[in-house]
Structure 1
Amino acid sequence: MKEIKKLGIMGGTFNPIHIGHLAMAEEIRKRFNLNKVLFVPTGNPPHKKIDSLASTEDRYMMTILATISNKDFLVSDIEIKRKGTSYTIDTIKQLREEYTESEIYFITGADAILEIETWKNTQELLNICNFIATTRPRYDVEELLSRIKKLEEKYERKISLLSIVPLDISSTDIRNRLKGGKTIKYMVPDSVIDYINKRNIYK
Structure 2
Amino acid sequence: MVASEVSSVLDLDRVLIVPTAAQPFKDPRGPAAGDHRVTMCRLAVAGDPRFEVSTVDVDRGGTTFTIDTLRDLSREYPGATLFFIAGADALARFSDWRDSSLLPELATFVAVTRPGHSMAALPGPFEVVEAPGLDVSSTDVRRRVGEGRPIRYLVPQPVADYIDEHDLYSGGRDD
TM-score, normalized by length of structure 2? Answer: 0.86
1:36 alignment partner, one of 14, 27, 37:
14
Name 1:60's counterpart in structure 2. Answer: 38
Are the equivalent residues in 1 in contact too, given 2:18–2:54 (CA < 8 A)?
yes
Cα distance between partner residues in 1 of 2:102 and 2:146: 42
- Tell me the residue number matched to 1:188: 155
Measure, in 2, the Cα distance between the counterparts of 1:103 and 1:161.
17
Change (3 A) 1:114 1:85: same
In structure 2, runs of 5+ residues without a counterpart are 171-175
Percent identity for Structure 1 against Structure 2: 35
1:139 aligns to 2:139 (yes or no): no
Aligned length: 170
Give the C-alpha shift of residue 137 in structure 1.
Answer: 4.6
Between the aligned partners of 2:150 and 2:90, the Cα distance in structure 1 is 30
Larger Rg: 1
State the structure with bigger RCO (CA 8 A, min sep 6), 1 or 2: 1
Q: Deviations over 1:34-89 (max 9, x none)?
A: 11110000111222225532111111111111111211000011111113221111
| Structure 1 counterpart SS, 2:25 | coil
- Tell me if 1:126 matches 2:104: yes
Mind listing any 5+ residue stretches in structure 1 that lack a counterpart? 1-22, 153-158
Higher helix share: 1
**Under a length normalisation based on structure 1, what TM-score does the superposition of the two structures give?**
0.75
* RMSD over equivalenced CA pairs, Å: 2.0
Is 2:60 aligned against 1:82? yes
